[in-house]
Chain A
Amino acid sequence: MINWTNFVSQLINGLALGALLALISSGLTIIYGTLGVLNLAHGAMFMLGGYAGYMAYTATNSFIVAVAAGALALMVFGLVLERVVIRYFYSRPHEDQLLVTFGLSIVIVEAVRFFFGSETRNVPAPEALNGVVSLGFMIYPKYRLALVGIVAAALLALFIVLYRTRLGMIVRAGIEDPVMVDSLGINVYRVFMVVFGIGAMAAGFAGIANAPVVSLTPEVGEAILVQTFVVVVIGGVGSFPGAVLGGLIAGEIISITSMINPGYAYVMLFAAMTLVLMLRPHGLLGTPGRE
């Protein structure tokens, strides 16, 4: 299906797909970049945000309420999780962090399956964003286009919080030298808790914002998590702008490759990651030497 119309269509689709991936990856990279914890439960938290939103939607029939509920529920969940489990693992080896978050993801997924079953749950897009928009040469779902803007706004908000506020400054200082920050009278571990909550909130927001696109099942986070890791590796582990760039690159790779040969769309994504790892091991926008 290689022709001009399809090429432009796939470029736009790549952008929309990339924006979604960027949003999901941002939560992962925030937590890793600041706390140094590679959170394998991120996919499960993404899914949980979707289900929290779904419950709010079925109760209120309002998409806005659903989005707010998905994000807030996961923020609370993240804060609790950090206090109860994660904080004990900051100084433990990465292997332990991977195992505990992997275990958490299994518990979360199976808990959701226990209560909701494996059946698909649908959260429709708001009425105004239902249907398709005609761009002349192509038609495209309105909600997916709107999502690009929603994602951009959410990413900007996250960026400001983490890089243009006092909180962000403390966080970044805490990463470099927590003892020093602590000795300056700042409770750096409370800040870490907030950061984990923000990362979880980003996952929850992405989960419910994505729900009208992907439909919910307990496994919805699993497949996304793999792609998210690819995005983070391409963009640079721990780099917030890297997650955005990586997301967009991944979206375009999937879209454009599928135009040439759909069977290779996801293969090419991993090929790109391999290439980045070979030529620039710290990722496109990552900082060399940072763990």
Chain B
Amino acid sequence: MSEFDPKAPKGRRDFIRAGLGAVGALALPGFATRAMAAENQPPVGTWPAGAEGNSVFIGIAVPRTGTYAVQGEDELKGWQLAIEHLNSGHPLMKAISPKTRKGVLGKEVKYGVADSAAKPNNAVQAEQRFITENKAILMTGSTSSAVAVAMNKLAQREKVLYVTGISGSNDTTGKDCVRYGFRQNFYGQTAAAALGPVLVKAFGKNKKAAYMTPDYTYGHTVTKSMQDYLATAGWTTVTNQVSPLGAPDFSSYLLNIANSGADVLINVNWGHDAVLSIQQAQRFGIFEKMKLAVPYQIPFLAPEVGGGLLAGVYAATDFWWTLQDKYPLAKQFVDAFEKRWGYKPEWGANNAYMSFAFWADAVENAGTFYPPDVIKSFEAGRKLQSTVGEVYFRKEDHQLVRPVVIVQGKKQSDMKNKEDFWEVLEVMPGAPLMQKPDAFGCNLGDYT
């Protein structure tokens, strides 16, 4: 990745702008400049209509009901805080997006929220409405990769930028990647590559693993990544219990696991499914026979499960608030979030905030909302300051190269306050955890 040099020519757009400036000085009639701009930037998606007024609009489709409702509300608070910080020119936002003053390119950011219930159809319908009625120039949402993948497709079709909410599937920036979609958070492959060595170190080689897998793209790819990594240490899969999203009861799956002879239960379930399956596993006496591991940490899992059930459990995550001791920006973020919302942010809120901040940075650097230029700005590979250190977007698949955080559940007696659920064991650099950009079949598609 080349270092970003603000003085270096930034490409065709800047060249044209500089050229037009010079020509303008020679009193070229105004209509000629407009004609040239229009020729080089034909309307794309909601541009220029969505960027003509004093404000720009972001469409947010997030689960506020259903299995992922709790996590969705946390994400929403992250986005709302980011928008407030953008509009006020908050120092934290400026630290991440240095060119930000107030708003984005001086325009106030407005937004609309729709409940997706983690269902792709709901999310797509809501965003389609935001595009048509509000001329949304950015979309976000997903706490389910099924939604993220559907939104990717909508973004590419409508040529409106999309930054994912929580999405853990390899497919989001793998086989279902798109030119108009960007992902901030970690995913199956990086979770497995980060958590795998920790599990092998803790439990040894040649172990038997049982999996609980939600039956959609997130579950299947995360389980596959874990299986692939652990196989290199001689681990085998004795059973993989695939269940539908929002299963009302896990007893029959848990009996299969109880009778499987596994050493470790790797629970890929998410949201309320994870809460219920872990609680029920405890009631079936499963944790007396095997250890639990959570490859894709779920916001609020520990307090929701309750009873200190996650003590000693290893998990991979994107962000945990005690990282504030290590990263100054994390401290600023945690303080600002807690002041605004009254609790320590979970990683969904952090992901939401960061993805808007990175979008603002991309737009400010592009100097326009014209989507192809904003995409190229993302793809420039600028080093970005984040709440987990320096990160950058990989231009080949639009995945942020970022660390994965390994945490371990604390015993109730070791908790220093009521939100001190996890101990950060390690912050593993992102690049070595990632697959080659083309390994999951990513083909980004066109700019226009």
Contacts and interface: CB of A to CB of B under 8 A. Distances in A.
Interface of A: 1, 3, 5-6, 9-10, 13-14, 16-17, 109, 113, 117-120, 122, 131-132, 138-141, 143-144, 213-215, 217-220, 222-224, 227, 254-255, 258-259, 262-263, 265-266
B67 interface: yes
B248 A9 contact: no
Nearest to B280: A213
Contact of B284 (A17, A132, A215, A223): A132
B259 to A, nearest CB: 4
Contacts of A3: 259
Interface in B271-317: 272, 275-276, 279-280, 283-285, 300, 303-306
Contacts of B303: 119
Contacts of A227: 248
B242 A262 contact: yes
A252 B332 CA distance: 54
10 contacts: A1-B256, A6-B255, A6-B259, A118-B73, A141-B283, A217-B69, A218-B65, A219-B66, A223-B247, A262-B256
B285 A132 contact: yes
A178 B69 CA distance: 46
A113 B65 contact: yes
A138 B255 contact: yes
Given A3-B259, A138-B259, A263-B215, A118 B69 contact: yes
A255 to B, nearest CB: 4
Interface in B234-261: 239-244, 246-249, 251-253, 255-256, 258-260
A137 B304 CA distance: 32
B70 interface: yes
B239 A122 contact: no
A13 B251 contact: yes
A214 B259 contact: no
B239 A1 contact: yes
The dominant DSSP class at the A interface is helix
Contact of A120 (B255, B285, B304): B304
Given A120-B272, A263-B242, A266-B247, 5 more contacts: A5-B259, A9-B259, A139-B285, A214-B248, A262-B252
**Chain A CB within 10 Å, residue with most, of B253, B256, B272:** B256
A220 B244 CA distance: 15
Given A122-B306, A217-B272, A219-B66, A17 B251 contact: yes
A120 B275 CA distance: 8
Given A119-B70, A215-B276, A132 B283 contact: yes
A222 B242 CA distance: 21
B65 A118 contact: yes
Contacts of A213: 249, 280, 283
A227 to B, nearest CB: 7
B253 A215 contact: no
Contacts of B279: 122, 215
Contacts of B239: 1
Given A5-B259, A17-B249, A215 B65 contact: no
A255 B242 contact: no
Contact of A143 (B246, B255, B283, B300): B283
Contacts of A140: 284
**Chain B CB within 10 Å, residue with most, of A217, A222, A224:** A217
Contacts of B241: 258, 262
B255 A119 contact: no
B246 A223 contact: yes
Given A141-B283, A219-B66, A223-B246, A259 B252 contact: yes
Contacts of A6: 255-256, 259
Contacts of B66: 219
